[in-house]
Amino acid sequence: MPIGDVLNAGVEGFNRAQQNIERASADINRATIDQQSDEQLAQQRQLEAARPEEAVTAPVSQPPRIDESLVNLKVEEFNAKANAQTIQTADEVLGTLIDIKV
């Protein structure tokens, strides 16, 4: 396998990990906001002395689970580190091949 292919694979893997990290971070943020909104709604119901069974809520899509998002974030962190190591190794090998110390 040519060094250029290894380097490209490392860069593509790192970019993919970065995108997944951004997605997991957004899910964590959205889950946190949803949780805060639920808590605020419960407090508002208490203040208004409304019974929860009388409240009408609009159907919503499945909110992201914060635990799954945290696990995904950690997995993608390891993916990014592994791909960064691949890039570094390919760089070192290429430097050795052309007899230049990088």
- pLDDT at residue 14, rounded to an integer: 96
CA dist 66 and 4 (Å) reads: 38
CA dist 27 and 63 (Å) reads: 8
Whole-structure pTM value: 0.67
The domains of the chain are located at 1-53, 63-101
CA dist 58 and 77 (Å) reads: 36
Helices 3-48 and 66-97, interaxial angle, to 10°? Answer: 160
- pLDDT at residue 79, rounded to an integer: 96
Helix, strand, or coil here: 72?
helix
Q: Give the closest residue to 85 by CA, choosing from 24, 20, 6, 4.
A: 6
CA dist 40 and 76 (Å) reads: 32
- pLDDT at residue 94, rounded to an integer: 85
From first to last of its 102 residues, the chain has per-residue pLDDT tens of 677 888 899 999 999 999 999 999 999 888 888 777 767 767 666 666 545 555 555 455 666 788 899 999 999 999 999 999 999 999 888 888 886 654
- pLDDT at residue 18, rounded to an integer: 96
